[in-house]
A = this chain, B = another copy of it.
Amino acid sequence: MASPYASLKEEAWEANCEIPVRGLALYTWGNVSAFDPRAGVFAIKPSGVPYPDLKAEDMVVIDLEGKTVEGSLNPSSDTPTHLVLYREFTAHDGALVRGIIHTHSTHAVAWAQACMDIPLFGTTHADHIQVPVPCTPYLSKEAVERDYEKETGDLIVDHFRAGKLNPDEVSMVLVGGHGPFAWGASAAKAVYNGAVLEEVARMAYLTRQINPGAKPLPDYIVGKHYSRKHGPNAYYGQTCR
């Protein structure tokens, strides 16, 4: 009998296959999940399986209590982080998060290891988010001892709350000493945002090497570029979202 989650698993699988195509992770160092808010479940990559070996039916379906609803393989060890993010970031009306990616992409990791926000230097960045890419502090010793992956999710959520950041608009984050998470309106859009983050991280690194005193892009250009692609008067692409 066909799985009721077949299309969700297919979406998650396709998005995971995109990770090596976009050069976002070596070996198995990245995972994507796809979320169905009506069913209250997400499909995620199984742990430690190389991308070329993945099949859509290998995806593991998890509900928002963390229970495996379908699938015989171990889900990604980062599953509790995805779970927290879906639970917290989609708990309001009109929430947009439907996919999450975690990778160890090189330049994003370098900023995370430097424990620094990525400055907003140009329009490539402003086309996607209107603020520097936030970087959380390290997890505390207590949090690591309690429940590492769940606490990583809580750390991100707390950092967004403290900074008054809206996850429907700020679709990416660095976890200090660890690496990037990104999300979007679908699993494919999450991968896109993961690739954007890596490229923005690389450009910002180069910008500061060239000019250590480089200044942030003025606010009035940031706002213009963001609204070209997002919001009620967007005019980029063929259908305005």
Contact = CB atoms under 8 A, between A and B. Distances in A.
A74 interface: yes
Nearest to A121: B113
A214 B77 contact: no
A114 B214 contact: yes
A185 B106 CA distance: 26
Interface residues of A, number: 60
Interface string A64-80: 00000000011001000
B236 A116 contact: no
Given A77-B236, A215-B115, A221-B177, A206 B106 contact: yes
Given A47-B237, A236-B47, A207 B122 contact: no
A43 interface: no
Given A47-B237, A114-B210, A138-B218, 8 more contacts: A73-B238, A109-B122, A111-B210, A113-B207, A123-B177, A138-B217, A141-B220, A177-B221
